[in-house]
Amino acid sequence: NAGVTQTPKFQVLKTGQSMTLQCAQDMNHNSMYWYRQDPGMGLRLIYYSASEGTTDKGEVPNGYNVSRLNKREFSLRLESAAPSQTSVYFCASSADRGQYFGPGTRLTVL
């Protein structure tokens, strides 16, 4: 099992550009999550999906949209990137015990 995979690993955008971060899990988990982590801080929840077909806002959803494409895949879209969105983005999935995290995408917005 690959667990949780994320693409790309690194990305540099200019202000106003758009992009989609991809996440996939092969553990048959119902719930999936997107977090961002700024330097020296804990993770903040952007959006989550409790099950296929449902999505809900987390702590910091402004500037982002998500799509739960199927049970395996949960994508995060930045429609018009801003420098404040420079961060490391983590995707996670969960079953009964704990969340499993991907390796992260390091995004820089210039």
Nearer to other proteins by Cβ, of 17 and 44: the residue is 44
Q: How far is the CB of 41 from other proteins (least distance, A)?
A: 6
C-alpha radius of gyration, the chain, whole number: 13
Closest CA to 20 of 84, 110, 71, 91: 91
Residues that bind other proteins (CB under 8 A): 4, 30-31, 33, 35, 40-45, 48, 50-51, 58-59, 90, 92, 94-104
Long-range contacts of 56-65 (CB under 8 A, 24+ apart): 58/33, 58/34, 60/36, 64/34
Side-chain half-sphere of 39: how many Cα atoms within 13 Å? Answer: 4
Q: Which amino acid is at 95?
A: A
Q: How far is the CB of 109 from other proteins (least distance, A)?
A: 19
Nearer to other proteins by Cβ, of 11 and 17: the residue is 11
Q: How far is the CB of 98 from other proteins (least distance, A)?
A: 4
Nearer to other proteins by Cβ, of 11 and 31: the residue is 31
Q: How far is the CB of 14 from other proteins (least distance, A)?
A: 24
